[in-house]
Amino acid sequence: MSHPDFFDSVPRLALFDPLAALLGASSDGRLEYGYLDAVRLAGHSCPTVASAYWLTCRALGLLYGEQLPERGAIRVSFRGRREEGVTGVMGAVVSLLTGAAGEEGFKGLGGLGVRRGLLSFGADIPLALRFERLDGGGRVEAEAHPQQVPADPAMGELLQAVLADAAGPAERQRFARLWQERVGLLLGAYRDDPRVFVLQAG
């Protein structure tokens, strides 16, 4: 798969998954995810997918410090409803990384590896997401504001031309390049900007 160079410069997320160890998917239970995994899941790279990926990385870093986060041991709540705006897309990415799932999730093996019921929507919480350790080790409220990352002024007009099927190959290529440049800024120069990624440990 050919992809923009910045994908490979985004920090990866390493986790410990006891279910992966038990069933032999990973001999030591260690799993690693990169931004490209989130893109493959969603089928595209955009500020929403990027925000969900990086918010999760940052939140788990706050929750676990130097320890490996435990996949499947994290409850995630969204303030928005699943069908509201981009909440469903963000939920899919967060689920991939944390293992948290709704009622359709894995019910576990003898109590191990339960994923069902760890992802919920429409919660009464202060920010857009809440990440919470099941062992009582803390929680993190999180929210992303990708609109703080400026877009090239030409993008609006190019997008309209693309959507109206009035853009030629050169215009389409330019739009795609400018789109990914903005995502690259979000995950690069702006990834530690507190105006863009808001996290509150509690």
- Full 3-state SS string of 86-109: CHHHHHHHHHHHHCCCCCCCCCCE
Cβ count near 26 (within 10 Å): 15
For residue 45, the enclosing domain spans 5-147+194-201
- Let me know if residue 164 belongs to a domain: no
Cβ count near 1 (within 10 Å): 6
Q: Which residues have CB under 8 Å from 97's CB, separation 6+?
A: 13, 15, 33, 38, 53, 56, 57, 60, 71
- Let me know if residue 18 belongs to a domain: yes
- Let me know if residue 168 belongs to a domain: no
Total tally of structural domains belonging to the chain: 1
Cα–Cα distance between 41 and 79 in angstroms, integer?
Answer: 22
- Let me know if residue 181 belongs to a domain: no
What's residue 110's pLDDT?
A: 81
- Let me know if residue 173 belongs to a domain: no
What's residue 1's pLDDT?
A: 66
95: nearest Cα among 63, 125, 119: 119
Cα–Cα distance between 166 and 69 in angstroms, integer?
Answer: 47
Q: Is-contact 131 142, C-beta < 8 A?
A: yes
For the full predicted model, state whether its pTM sits above 0.85.
yes
**Span between the terminal Cα atoms of the chain, in Å:** 40
- Let me know if residue 100 belongs to a domain: yes
- Let me know if residue 98 belongs to a domain: yes
Cα–Cα distance between 134 and 23 in angstroms, integer?
Answer: 22
Token code pair at residue 129: 């997401």
pLDDT digits (tens, 9 = 90+) for 172-187: 999 999 999 999 999 9
Query: At which residue do the structure tokens 């190019």 appear?
Result: 158
| Ramachandran angles phi, psi of 7, nearest 5° | -50, -40
pLDDT digits (tens, 9 = 90+) for 21-52: 999 999 999 999 999 999 999 999 999 999 99
pLDDT digits (tens, 9 = 90+) for 77-114: 999 999 999 999 999 999 999 999 998 888 888 877 88
Token code pair at residue 90: 């963000």
Burial of 92 (C-beta count, 10 Å sphere; 0-12/13-18/19+): middle
- Let me know if residue 156 belongs to a domain: no
